[in-house]
Structure 1
């Protein structure tokens, strides 16, 4: 809201700018996976985190009052915020490979549970950032907030540089690629055979569309697009849904959402633990289908009491966001090392088309039939479809071979 007022945009212009930023972010995120599969996991994390810091700093320097030029600069600079979306994918890829070779027996047996605590830092960070924005916006302005946002990222890049090592799986892949490039093909194939892994020189982006991986790429992408219909409806537009669909005042909705999100945080830990017990794929499918039913119940005319609204909304969000602790890790298990970052990053980037398409559908349905109908038929139904789409994902055999010989 601060940037909209500062740049003198109308609500329509602000919406258009945000839409183009989402498009640009998706393009950046889509293109980043192959780069990370070339650079490595460690350098990929430094690139995504450091790039996000640079984007925040540059945003604070964009001048106002230049009409189309200012808007264009905002779109271009903020589009590189797609680096931030990709950071989660790189993080999941790195953790997946590190946990395969860790000497800590607990992490080898329960990788999903331990990864869930890491993944759970995302919503806590989002809530902390929102609280700081609320407390400091009137004091230091939106430019000051963007400058402050660079500091944690710079610190994190330094910590990665000093303390994180590249994964052994990628080091092996890198060695095989070096042998291939130097013409030592026989030596490369012998080394790959000694580890019983498949080494491919095919471009990572092309690999994720090969016949045995194509199904995963399509199914995961559909699942993410439709699931972000729900994220957009019940997370991004949560206060609007509570106000317009259930008659909750905005001041009450704000506090309700704090309670709901705190409860939802434990969904990450629960689904990480459950994924280790019954399998990550089953956990995601069950979680998202239950989430859609909770939201449908919350939107029904039978739920009118504030306590019941909080309980059903919290239940929906618990089973909506919690499976992301399982799906981030599961996606990394569904692609071989040579294209793992590309596959996971590509799928994560489909969240942006999900937000754009879901937002347009939500607006269209809400304008014709009301917010309650939009939340039900776009948000809840989208979550249900995403759960069904996950049925068609599977872990390829070559990943099992890689993990058996690391």
Structure 2
């Protein structure tokens, strides 16, 4: 359905006319912020359940430890195809419909996962890989959020959100550890009595509800409405009119396809460096976040039930990391915040895996610190990504880079599984996970926002 909003003036401008995009009211900004947080948290709840429940599913499907990691890697391969395809779709559908698509896909995937049969090895494993591959829709929700909230905070009438967007966005991006807290907490409470299938059904219900609320309450950003009009003018051969309209709003316009744009000369270095950094960082995300229960169980000898409650505490610590890094990013710069956080994360995880750490308290402290500095910088990263691509290819850029998590998960999974087979989980987590995190921080040194995005940001609202 259509949401009634202050419309963007899309009529042909007079010569040298200057226009301003309509603003988001305080109420509209609050609605957008709350729905973005809920959508991301529920999307992560589904995405995180697979890793959280992997040890339990391993027993039900009859996998060995190595086979379970291999299945996870194949799921990542399928997820990659979904993630790579969603960005251009969102740049055409819009931010609001994109959010409905990603979270709606999450509801369907969660429900179907609960129905997968066991005991038929080839069929069961094949269905699991196919269905869980579409979990990439839920994972891609963060790219939609980053694009949408970047544009909302540019035009909001709430001065503090325009002044400190990274800090306010950190509460939204913190849905990652909150989703894992939900996954671990509900697994601790219901897995022994209801089994893993019931937990996937629990993830499907709130996702379906949020899609309905988004359809009723969320409005599209004026930046996308303008971009959509410019695209329509280009399609009808009215390129001069499109450039005139864009110029009246002081924004950059290009007729080049979004996926091609992110490889143009002035954006290519960002695309390459972000992609490489994201790949290496997801070595760590895979091992210490998605497969957290397996690392605690197999590398540190923690019982599965104890691993669930430990991960609840660890992920709550991680949520505080989002708030701190969002705040610091506004103060000293998002790039510097990301670099420092990811390097520190690798150091803390290496310490956690060492023989020096053997008590539950020290495991929680070092693991929590590692997660704090690993996921926290994403509060700055998701906003920094949106600052590094213009409106015409912003969702494509952020989704493409976000999709590089899957090559990271695939390659990391292959390397991790190989090293586990040759040595053990602890050694594999150190060499692939901890050192991958440090490398990702160093690669971020090569990124830089282009001048055209700085010029696009609305002023005087």
After TM superposition, the score normalised by the length of structure 2 is 0.81
2:127 corresponds, among 67, 73, 88, to 73
Cα separation, 2, equivalents of 1:267 and 1:162:
32
Distance 1:144 1:307, change over 3 A: closer
Displacement of 1:288 in angstroms is 0.9
Partner of residue 191, structure 2: 137
Matches within 5 A, 1:347-386: 347-386=401-440
The equivalent of 2:86 in structure 1 is 32
Q: Equivalent residue for 1:114?
A: 168
Is 1:278 paired with 2:332? yes
Q: Name the residue aligned to 1:228.
A: 282
User: What CA deviation, in whole Å up to 9, does each residue of 1:218-268 have, x standing for no partner?
Assistant: 111111111111122322344554455556565555444333222222001
Cα–Cα, structure 1 residues 263 and 141, in superposed 2: closer, same or farther, change >3 Å? closer
1:29-54 residue CA offsets vs partner (Å, 9 max, x unmatched) = 10110000011100000010111112
Alignment length (residue pairs): 406
The Cα shift of 1:322 comes to: 0.6
Which deviates further from its counterpart, 147-156 or 111-120? 147-156
- CA, structure 1 residues 70+238, in 2 after alignment: closer, same or farther (shift >3 Å)? closer
User: Among 123, 127, 140, which residue is 2:177 paired with?
Assistant: 123
Cα offsets for 1:40-92 (capped at 9, x unmatched): 10000001011111222233344555553343333222211110110011011
Pick closer, same or farther for the CA change 1:375–1:60 going to 2, 3 Å. Answer: closer
Task: Sort the Cα spacing of 1:198 and 1:149 in 2 relative to 1 into closer, same or farther, 3 A.
Answer: same
**Relative to 1, partners in 2 of residues 1:76 and 1:363: Cα closer, same or farther, differing over 3 Å?**
closer
Is 1:150 aligned to residue 204 of structure 2?
A: yes
Matched, 1:337 2:391: yes
- Give the counterpart of 1:204 among 246, 254, 258: 258
Alignment of structure 1 residues 214-363 onto 2, 5 Å: 214-242=268-296, 245-246=299-300, 252-304=306-358, 306-363=360-417
In structure 2, stretches of 5+ residues that fail to align are: 1-54
Distance 1:67-1:310 versus aligned 2 partners, 3 A rule: closer
Aligned to 1:56: 110
Task: Note the residue ranges of structure 1 that are not aligned, 5 or more in a row.
Answer: none
Asked whether 1:181 is paired with 2:257, we answer no
- Residues 75 and 371 of structure 1: CA distance in aligned 2, closer, same or farther (over 3 Å): closer
Structure 1 residue matching 2:229: 3-state secondary structure: helix
Give the Cα–Cα distance (whole angstroms) in 1 for the partners of residues 109 and 410 of structure 2.
22
Aligned to 2:225: 171
C-alpha separation between the residues in 2 aligned to 1:260 and 1:24? 29
- Other structure's SS at 1:391 match: helix
Higher mean alpha-carbon deviation, 115-124 vs 129-138, is at 129-138
> Residue in 1 aligned with 2:445?
391
Q: Tell me, in whole angstroms, the C-alpha distance in 1 between the residues paired with 2:356 and 2:70.
A: 37
Structure 1 equivalent of residue 17 of structure 2: none
Contact 2:69 2:417 in 1 (8 A): no
> 1:151 is paired with a residue of what secondary structure?
helix
- SS of 1:273's equivalent? helix
RMSD (Å) for aligned C-alpha atoms: 2.4
**Structure ranking higher in helix proportion:** 1
CA offsets per residue over residues 308-354 of structure 1, 9 Å max, x none? 44333222221111101110111111111111111111111111221
Deviation at 1:293, TM superposition (A): 2.1
Q: CA deviation at 1:356?
A: 2.2
Deviations 1:188-207 (A, max 9, x none): 11111112222112111111
TM-score by length of 1: 0.92
